[in-house]
Amino acid sequence: MLSNYKEIVTNFASPICVIAGPGAGKTHLLADRINRLLKNGGSKNKIRDTICVLAFGNDAVQRMKDELTNPKGDWKLPFPELPRILTTHSLGLEIVKEKPSDIGLLKTDLEVQENHKIQELMYRDAAFILDFTEEDGKEAGKCKRYGDCQKQTSKNKCKVCMKYREIMSKCNRIDFDDQLLFACEILENNPAILKKYQEKAKHLLIDEYQDFNAVQFRLIDLLSRESRNGLFVVGDDAQSIYSFRGGNPKFVLRFCQDFPGAEFGYLPYNRRCPKGIMRIALTFLQQKYLEYKGIRSVDDIDFTNRSENAPYVWEAPSELKESAEVAKIARSSLEEEKTVLILVPKKDLLPLVIKKLREYHVPYDCDENFIPDRIKVANLFIEWIGKQEDNFKTRLIIEQLINAGSAKVPGMKKDRRCSSETIEKRVAEEKKIAKLWERVDKHNNLFSVISNHEETEATFVKIRDGLNNLINSYVGWEGIDQGEFVKQLSAVSGIWVNPSKLIEDLGLVSKLLVPQEISVKHIASLRTMKKAKGLQADVVIVVGLENDIVPDRRNDVVEEARLFYVSMTRAQQSLYLFHSSRRPCDISYSESNLEKDRSVFLNDLGLPSTNKFPTSSKKI
């Protein structure tokens, strides 16, 4: 075990896994390691070409590059001297492009398909082509997302995976997860390509190791096989919050078993959180997550901010009051030139917070957009008209037509409100549509297949006629009769059947187009808790901490606890934790909208709730 910074950063005698808690300076550590490699490595170009840095997302890649090249920073590297810094997925795609023929793809026009709706439909179609169930399709989707798909297997789910792969290759597309799965396949089957990439990754540095899943592990295992001592990973098992894609703290915990001779290192610093907030957060974490690998006591951590200020737990009488208080705190903090981060446990809480921020003239940014689905659907149809050969767009359009449009087949949701006969009929239609893929090839796209289908299936005829009407009316778009097109679009797609919805949509869109007035230096960032990683702010506000929302009962409670820990440890000065005594039931997971209890997580913090206006206490 290494706990001395210098020992960690200069150790080249074994693989290392460095546990770096919130604000411990892991970007700095990685940059330091890179800088030392470049300086001590003799011929600069030569060593540079053997360094590969894997970061979690594009933002993290950019932060790493900024850290290394910042003219005011510690390293001041000229941009051309940077080693390779990229995400695991872009490295995967690069490897796939070395030999796409291995997986039945063409080199030209190979793209990554990232639309989740399409992905879901493709899995369902693949399952239905094989006469399996929709559930088998969902299992296949998980199998790929978790990164442990087995090519040779008798399991239904992986047969679906292979059928899905066949459809995707007809369209010359791979999906997000395939970038890694296919890369591993190519490396395993092509020793020359493997050797080339091993040479380029003799020094393999990895950030956010706690978010790795099985396929990412397989990839770095392959790449580092000939040079294990160059493996340098940084992570924090307490911040492992991506189990939905197979991420698991086990890869951190078992690092020394996976790589014999490996060492753990610890960074005993916190340059971000006040000591008081960290004390509460760390005590909470250890009650819930017993395997925690990091430093267990705040007294063993060197804090820059030694303030013992505790988090502020605020009980609002209603969700309206809660949002108003949030807006007030955000506004006064921004006026004091502080940065503000507002976190919500689920997206549904965002619209009300946004509404209040707008009312209080607080500038904000939010990475979710709330354009009504109807407008997204209208846009899809218009895009499709210009690109009818796009099989995935055609597939989405067909789905819209049978869900709500001119070829409507009842039973879309297949829930309790549908009779078993309705569901049966619906599934039969979905299977017929799925099987259209069997006729798609490089010369026949999905739209031409359905247009030239010889059978007189009622649903196919309706889809065909509807789409032809739409295309024909679009001819008149150039000023002749736009009204006719909108009328057809409404009839065929099933949106705006009620004209007042059209008026409502126009109102919403025009509101979205009104620019925000920005008169302060900073703007408040609004995110879901899952997207909080990598972020920090002077003032962090978490809303919706009620018992039926946090922890989310559908998820693992230990991971939910880690998620709450990650959220709290974004704070650089103040942390406000909000819960409301009332919340509409369509937002919480429970039936009633009265008398909400605060989250058990708040009880575990051991802090009382108060309902005094928080801004008055915050100057203490």
| CA pair distance 205, 213, nearest whole angstrom | 17
Shortest spacing between CB 138 and Zn ion, in angstroms: 12
Among 54, 55, 161, 529, binds Zn ion (CB under 5 A): 161
**In DSSP terms, which residues pair with 616 in a beta bridge?**
none
Ramachandran bin of 576, using left for φ above 0, alpha for ψ from -120 to 50, beta for the remaining angles = beta
CA torsion angle 446 452 455 459 (round to 10):
50
- Residue closer to Zn ion (CB basis): 143 or 366: 143
**Contact 293/252 with Cβ under 8 angstroms?**
yes
- According to the binding rule CB under 5 A, does residue 149 interact with Zn ion? yes
- Residue closer to Zn ion (CB basis): 156 or 593: 156
- Residue closer to Zn ion (CB basis): 122 or 492: 122
Q: Which stretch binds Zn ion (CB under 5 A): 149-157, 278-286, 404-412, 557-565?
A: 149-157
- Residue closer to Zn ion (CB basis): 162 or 461: 162
Shortest spacing between CB 219 and Zn ion, in angstroms: 17
Shortest spacing between CB 140 and Zn ion, in angstroms: 6
- Residue closer to Zn ion (CB basis): 147 or 345: 147
Shortest spacing between CB 104 and Zn ion, in angstroms: 16
Among 158, 174, 201, 334, binds Zn ion (CB under 5 A): 158
Q: Could you tell me which of 255, 206, 199, 250 has the C-alpha nearest to residue 223? A: 199
Map residue 297 onto helix, strand or coil: coil
H/E run at residue 35? helix 26-40
- Residue closer to Zn ion (CB basis): 154 or 257: 154
- CA end-to-end distance (rounded Å), the chain: 41
Shortest spacing between CB 142 and Zn ion, in angstroms: 9
Among 143, 168, 215, 278, binds Zn ion (CB under 5 A): 143
Half-sphere exposure of residue 100: CA atoms within 13 angstroms, side-chain side: 18
Shortest spacing between CB 440 and Zn ion, in angstroms: 22
Which residues are within 8 A (CB) of 198 and not within 5 positions of it... i.e. 6 or more apart?
222, 223, 224, 225, 226, 227
Between 164 and 203, how does the x/- string for binding to Zn ion read (CB under 5 A)? ----------------------------------------
Pair of tokens at residue 498: 């009620």
Map residue 407 onto helix, strand or coil: coil
Shortest spacing between CB 244 and Zn ion, in angstroms: 17
Per CB under 5 A, contacts with Zn ion among 320-379 are none
Between 521 and 550, how does the x/- string for binding to Zn ion read (CB under 5 A)? ------------------------------
| CA pair distance 8, 495, nearest whole angstrom | 60
Q: Which stretch binds Zn ion (CB under 5 A): 144-152, 406-414, 472-480, 489-497?
A: 144-152
Shortest spacing between CB 596 and Zn ion, in angstroms: 41
Helical pair 178-189 and 214-223, crossing angle rounded to 10 deg: 30
| Site of tokens 């092509």 | 190
Map residue 193 onto helix, strand or coil: helix
| Site of tokens 């606890």 | 561
Shortest spacing between CB 153 and Zn ion, in angstroms: 7
Q: Which stretch binds Zn ion (CB under 5 A): 33-41, 66-74, 109-117, 152-160?
A: 152-160
Query: Using the 8-state DSSP alphabet, how is residue 523 labeled?
Result: -
- According to the binding rule CB under 5 A, does residue 295 interact with Zn ion? no
Q: Which strands sit side by side in the sheet containing 312-316, from one edge to the other?
A: 312-316, 571-580, 537-542, 340-344, 524-528, 364-366
- Residue closer to Zn ion (CB basis): 167 or 206: 167
- Residue closer to Zn ion (CB basis): 143 or 402: 143
Q: Which stretch binds Zn ion (CB under 5 A): 35-43, 73-81, 161-169, 412-420?
A: 161-169
Shortest spacing between CB 543 and Zn ion, in angstroms: 38
Map residue 470 onto helix, strand or coil: helix
Pair of tokens at residue 485: 């097109």
- Residue closer to Zn ion (CB basis): 148 or 457: 148
- Residue closer to Zn ion (CB basis): 154 or 510: 154
**In DSSP terms, which residues pair with 2 in a beta bridge?**
265
Shortest spacing between CB 148 and Zn ion, in angstroms: 8
| Site of tokens 């000591």 | 275
Task: Say how many C-beta atoms besides its own lie within 10 A of residue 251's C-beta.
Answer: 23
- Residue closer to Zn ion (CB basis): 143 or 285: 143
Q: Which stretch binds Zn ion (CB under 5 A): 141-149, 203-211, 402-410, 455-463?
A: 141-149
Pair of tokens at residue 435: 């099987």
Map residue 261 onto helix, strand or coil: coil
Shortest spacing between CB 547 and Zn ion, in angstroms: 37
Shortest spacing between CB 164 and Zn ion, in angstroms: 9
Q: Which stretch binds Zn ion (CB under 5 A): 146-154, 320-328, 452-460, 494-502?
A: 146-154
Q: Could you tell me which of 32, 38, 27 has the C-alpha nearest to residue 6? A: 32
Q: How many residues bind Zn ion (CB under 5 A)?
A: 4
Per CB under 5 A, contacts with Zn ion among 423-482 are none
**Contact 571/273 with Cβ under 8 angstroms?**
yes
Map residue 610 onto helix, strand or coil: strand
Shortest spacing between CB 246 and Zn ion, in angstroms: 12
Burial of 332 by CB count in 10 Å (0-12 exposed, 13-18 middle, 19+ buried)?
Answer: middle
Residue by residue, DSSP assigns 326-390 as HHHHHHHHHHTT--EEEEESSGGGHHHHHHHHHHTT--EEESS----HHHHHHHHHHHHHH-TT-
Q: Which stretch binds Zn ion (CB under 5 A): 143-151, 232-240, 249-257, 595-603?
A: 143-151
Q: Which stretch binds Zn ion (CB under 5 A): 25-33, 46-54, 137-145, 484-492?
A: 137-145
Q: Which stretch binds Zn ion (CB under 5 A): 109-117, 154-162, 245-253, 324-332?
A: 154-162
**Cα-based angle 290, 293, 296 (whole degrees, multiple of 5):** 80
Q: Which stretch binds Zn ion (CB under 5 A): 28-36, 153-161, 217-225, 538-546?
A: 153-161
| CA pair distance 541, 578, nearest whole angstrom | 7
Q: Which residues bind Zn ion (CB under 5 A)?
A: 143, 149, 158, 161
